[in-house]
Amino acid sequence: MEAAEKPKNGEVKVSCAANGFANKIVIFETVDSRTEMKLLIDLTSKNGGEGSEKSLAGLKDLQKYIVTKEESSWLLDDRLHQVVDDILKTGIEEAKTRLVRLLAVCSLKDDFINFLNLDKIKNRSIMNYANGFDDLSLNEQKATGMFLCNLFARPQTASYALYHSNWNSAASGEKTSNAQILVNVATVCLNSRNPSLQQHGSGIFYNIGLRETVKVLEKPNTDKSNWRFGDTSLDVEDKSLSDLKNGGNFVALKAFDEMVILA
Taking the C-alpha atoms of residue 191 and residue 60, their distance in angstroms, rounded to an integer, is: 37
Query: Taking the model in full, what pTM does it have?
Result: 0.75
pLDDT score of 217:
44
* Domain identity same for 221 and 204: no
* Domain identity same for 55 and 154: yes
pLDDT score of 65:
93
Which residues, in sequence order, are bridge partners of residue 260? 252
Which residues, in sequence order, are bridge partners of residue 168? 175
CA 44 to chain centre: 25
The Cα-based distances of 95 to 42, 101, 151, 257 in angstroms read 10, 10, 21, 36
Contact 179, 163 (CB under 8 A): yes
Structural domain boundaries, residue 252:
213-262
* Domain identity same for 162 and 187: yes
Taking the C-alpha atoms of residue 148 and residue 240, their distance in angstroms, rounded to an integer, is: 21
Contact 169, 123 (CB under 8 A): no
pLDDT score of 188:
97
* Domain identity same for 142 and 242: no
* Domain identity same for 151 and 256: no
pLDDT score of 71:
79
Nearest to 255 by CA among 178, 188, 186, 189: 178
Contact 17, 2 (CB under 8 A): yes
Going by C-beta distance under 8 Å and a sequence separation of 6 or more, which residues neighbour residue 114?
Answer: 73, 76
* Domain identity same for 245 and 146: no
**Number of neighbouring beta carbons within 10 Å of residue 250:** 19
Cα–Cα–Cα angle for 19, 24, 29, nearest 5°? 80
Taking the C-alpha atoms of residue 86 and residue 210, their distance in angstroms, rounded to an integer, is: 35
Q: Residue ranges of the chain with pLDDT lower than 50? A: 1-12, 14, 16-22, 213-218, 227, 229-230, 232-263
% of the chain surpassing 70 pLDDT: 70
Query: For residue 5, is it within any domain?
Result: no
Amino acid (one-letter) located at 90: T
Query: For residue 3, is it within any domain?
Result: no
Contact 49, 33 (CB under 8 A): no
The Cα-based distances of 24 to 14, 62, 83, 85, 113 in angstroms read 7, 28, 34, 33, 21
